[in-house]
Structure 1
Amino acid sequence: MNILHVVPSFAPCFAHGGVVNASYQIAKKQFEAGHNVSVYTTDSCDERLKYKDNYNVDVDGIKVFYFKNLSNTIKNKMTIDTPISSIRYIKKTINNFDIIHIHEHRHSLAIATHRYAKKNNIPYVLQAHGSVLPFFQKEKLKDIFDKLWGFDILHDASRVFALTEIEKEQYLKMGILNEKIEIVPLGINLDEYTNLPNRGKFKSKYNISENDKLILFLGRIHEIKGLDLLIKSFNELKNENIKLAIVGGDYGFKEELLKLIEKYDLTDKIIFPGVLTGRDKIEAMVDCDIFIMPSRYESFTTSGLEAMACRKPLILTKNNHIHTWVKDNTGLVCEFNEKELSNSINKLLNDEDLCKKFGNTGRELIENKYNWNTVEKQIESIYEKCIIKY
């Protein structure tokens, strides 16, 4: 198959969130399966991407086209992409593809791709990655976008991918027919978690005693992630032998967290290692005792899957869509509440057998379901149904 992925940001911009990693992993697995895979994206990263030829970049066998944004600042601060020359290029090349995979739908590349895919009868699937409904931030702008383009982009898709049953309900609320919705979870690259590093490497780098318990958050430092709640709950633990690592890039919320840390006098107990990737990230997972994602809203937790691959127990709030299968299976689930979260942490810190049970169940789920090899096969099957229909 000739496959096109359309996504606002792509590798190597992994600090821009889970959508970048998901689109990259899917595209990479499809190339490894023998397909011709291309990606249309923008050149915005922390720093603007510059290649010898931005319209012909080989990323692990994937042909990537980085359209230039008019403003990298607007893209990064307001998440509004302005890719110049993309419309003309998409119009010229759309017929080169058998199937198109649009990641998220409220962006300029999705508008142009939808227009010319429909005009040329090219089937496309849409994966909203948790952004089906217009809420949490910029609701009015999202409503306007939906009225102008968003509803059509959603409804004209051959299939839409829901990460969970909860996201499926969101698609239904937007009027998408039940038969067009496929439950397609995210996964991780299991090969990266076959030979895990020895314990102690992360703690050694950050001067954490091997006797200290370590709580880990890994993701964007953003208000939506609930890190203020985590710090307040951490303060309730009253245990001298616990450290908290908040791993990830700052999306405008770190200053608020530093004020809380100073207020509770927790400076020597909480560290910010920044963005960790590859083996450095896995070392942090291996050394932690509990992985926590205390989100105000979360459609899926890829970093949680990575922790499961390292046999770590999870703690999530009920605002995370995967809580339905995590609860009492691979970890604990609580309300978005300071006391409940601290109680959940205490429960796991004081029950090694329960932690081991959750960790083993999580690893088994990764091996059987939540890995990119399994997910890619499911996606390929859906693509084939869409192409046959057309």
Structure 2
Amino acid sequence: MDIHHISNFFEPAWEAGGVANAASQIAKQQSYLGHYVKSTTTSGFLNEDFSKQDNQSQVNAQYLPTISDRLTEEFLFPMPYKGFSKLRSDISQADIVHIHEHRSPLAAISSIIANREDVPTILQPHGSLGYDRGRRRAKVVFDHAIGNWILQNSSRYIATSEPELRELTGFGVREQKVDIIPIGINEDEVPTDLSGRNFKLKYQIPTNKKLILFLGRLDGIKGLPLLLQAISMIMEVESSDCHLAIVGPENDHQKKLKNMAEELEITKHVTFPGPVYGDEKYDAYDAADLYVLPSHFESFSTTVLEAGIVGTPVLVSENCWISSLLDEFDEGFTFKRTQRELASHINELLYNENKRRSFSTNFKQRIKDVFTWEKIAINTIESYEEIISG
């Protein structure tokens, strides 16, 4: 099968967030399964000489240059300005076009080309649909201009969870045209010689403290001010034998968080290591006694799976769709977004070793059984085949 992926960001643009990783992993696994896979993406979050580097995956990827780094990195809205002739040629030869998120110039152009060339498209929103989060006015304007047309003219859809399925039907998509396929993880990427101690030593985190970890893109939707407030509350009433590491790119939001930590007088209890990748990322999970995701919203967090496959227990906001999965194993690993409840859950879990160990064992096995990228890729191919055969 000739498969063409359309994604604003692709490996190794990991700073762009989870969609770059998901699109890259799905495409890579499909290639391993014997399909011919291409990807058209943008140069967003990549250095200037990336075009001289080799793409490490088995996917033929084309990186279109963008007109504005600010639009790309601050608003996650890359605007490519050339490479469209090749894009048209590639799409016309494809059996299926898989669009990751649809509110972008690249997705719009690709959808129009596919429609004109009579090539079926499958749309995967990755949690981006709702107007209740993230640049509502811009979403409404885009949808009136072209977004609604893209949505209604897609052949089929992939939702990462039941809540996203409900969002799609709320936008007028028929439920029968939606397949629920979660995000996955590649267990082979987890190093066998994890060293949480080395991570602590490198970033001068006290080795005798219990470590609470956040890892991911730093922006407002992640809800990190609440986590800082919870740590402040814990420090007021408990002995200070825990420490917080907020791992993510050094940007304006990180500066705001550092200022907030200073105002709360918890600077000595918080470390900002900056971004970490590869083996060091898994060392960070290994170092942590608890991974916390306090987001206002998440569709399906890859970082929760990464922490889980390492064996690190997770504590997730009920606003994250993956929280319903965690509740299947044990109560207490999800929380309502209030300062007091988050602080209470952190305290309870940090000092209940048996509960954390039991959860970690069960969740790790569930990830291996259900959430590998190979299984995700196979399920995605089945969705493609249903479109092509039907």
Indicate the TM-score class for this superposition, using the shorter chain for normalisation. Answer: over 0.9
Question: Which residue of structure 2 lines up, in the alignment, with residue 371 of structure 1?
Answer: 372
The one-letter code sitting in structure 2 at the alignment partner of 1:290 is L
Question: Which residue of structure 2 lines up, in the alignment, with residue 116 of structure 1?
Answer: 113
**Quick one: which of 229, 233, 249 aligns to 1:232?**
229
Which string of whole-angstrom CA distances, capped at 9 and with x for unpartnered residues, describes residues 53-110 of structure 1?
Answer: x9xx644221111112122232222322221124433333322111111000001111
Q: Partners of 2:359 and 2:164 in 1: how far apart?
A: 25
Taking only the aligned residue pairs, the percentage that are identical comes to 32
Question: Which residue of structure 1 lines up, in the alignment, with residue 320 of structure 2?
Answer: 320
Computed over aligned residues only, the root mean square deviation of the Cα atoms, in angstroms, reads 1.7
Question: Which residue of structure 2 lines up, in the alignment, with residue 164 of structure 1?
Answer: 161
- 1:44 positional shift: 2.0
**Quick one: which of 171, 174, 187 aligns to 1:174?**
171
Contact 2:196 2:284 in 1 (8 A): no
The one-letter code sitting in structure 1 at the alignment partner of 2:34 is G
- 1:138 positional shift: 2.0
Contact 1:222 1:250 in 2 (8 A): no
The one-letter code sitting in structure 1 at the alignment partner of 2:60 is K
Which string of whole-angstrom CA distances, capped at 9 and with x for unpartnered residues, describes residues 110-163 of structure 1?
Answer: 111111211121111111110012332321121111112111211222211111
Which string of whole-angstrom CA distances, capped at 9 and with x for unpartnered residues, describes residues 233-267 of structure 1?
Answer: 01111232111010111453112211221112211
- 1:45 positional shift: 1.5
- 1:49 positional shift: 5.0
- 1:217 positional shift: 0.3
More displaced 10-residue stretch of structure 1: 89-98 or 100-109: 89-98
Output aligned runs, 1:294-373, within 5 Å. Answer: 294-327=294-327, 329=329, 332-373=333-374
Tell whether 2:214 aligns with 1:214: no
Q: TM-score, normalised by structure 2?
A: 0.95
- 1:325 positional shift: 1.4
- 1:327 positional shift: 2.2
Q: Partners of 1:128 and 1:250 in 2: how far apart?
A: 27
Corresponding residue SS for 1:319: coil
- 1:298 positional shift: 1.0
Deviation above 4 Å: which 4+ runs of structure 1? Answer: none
Question: Which residue of structure 2 lines up, in the alignment, with residue 141 of structure 1?
Answer: 138
The one-letter code sitting in structure 2 at the alignment partner of 1:42 is T
Stretches of structure 2 that go unaligned for 5 or more consecutive residues are none
- 1:177 positional shift: 0.2
Contact 2:214 2:291 in 1 (8 A): yes
Question: Which residue of structure 1 lines up, in the alignment, with residue 62 of structure 2?
Answer: 65
Q: Partners of 1:221 and 1:77 in 2: how far apart?
A: 11
Question: Which residue of structure 2 lines up, in the alignment, with residue 287 of structure 1?
Answer: 287
Q: TM-score, normalised by structure 1?
A: 0.95
The alpha-carbon distance between structure 1 residues 262 and 319, as it changes in their structure 2 partners (threshold 3 A), is same
The one-letter code sitting in structure 2 at the alignment partner of 1:36 is Y
Tell whether 2:136 aligns with 1:126: no
- 1:328 positional shift: 6.0
The alpha-carbon distance between structure 1 residues 339 and 324, as it changes in their structure 2 partners (threshold 3 A), is same
Tell whether 2:189 aligns with 1:192: yes
Corresponding residue SS for 2:333: strand
- 1:292 positional shift: 0.2
Q: Partners of 1:18 and 1:387 in 2: how far apart?
A: 28
Question: Which residue of structure 1 lines up, in the alignment, with residue 79 of structure 2?
Answer: 82
The one-letter code sitting in structure 2 at the alignment partner of 1:267 is T
Question: Which residue of structure 2 lines up, in the alignment, with residue 260 of structure 1?
Answer: 260
Contact 1:86 1:109 in 2 (8 A): no
More displaced 10-residue stretch of structure 1: 186-195 or 238-247: 186-195
- 1:194 positional shift: 6.5
Q: Partners of 2:350 and 2:78 in 1: how far apart?
A: 44
Q: Partners of 2:280 and 2:161 in 1: how far apart?
A: 29
**Quick one: which of 92, 111, 121 aligns to 1:95?**
92
The alpha-carbon distance between structure 1 residues 194 and 82, as it changes in their structure 2 partners (threshold 3 A), is closer
The alpha-carbon distance between structure 1 residues 49 and 124, as it changes in their structure 2 partners (threshold 3 A), is farther
Q: Partners of 2:29 and 2:185 in 1: how far apart?
A: 11
The one-letter code sitting in structure 1 at the alignment partner of 2:58 is G
Q: Partners of 1:335 and 1:328 in 2: how far apart?
A: 17
- 1:222 positional shift: 0.8
The number of equivalent residue pairs is 386
Q: Partners of 1:146 and 1:237 in 2: how far apart?
A: 44
Contact 2:213 2:292 in 1 (8 A): yes
The one-letter code sitting in structure 2 at the alignment partner of 1:132 is L
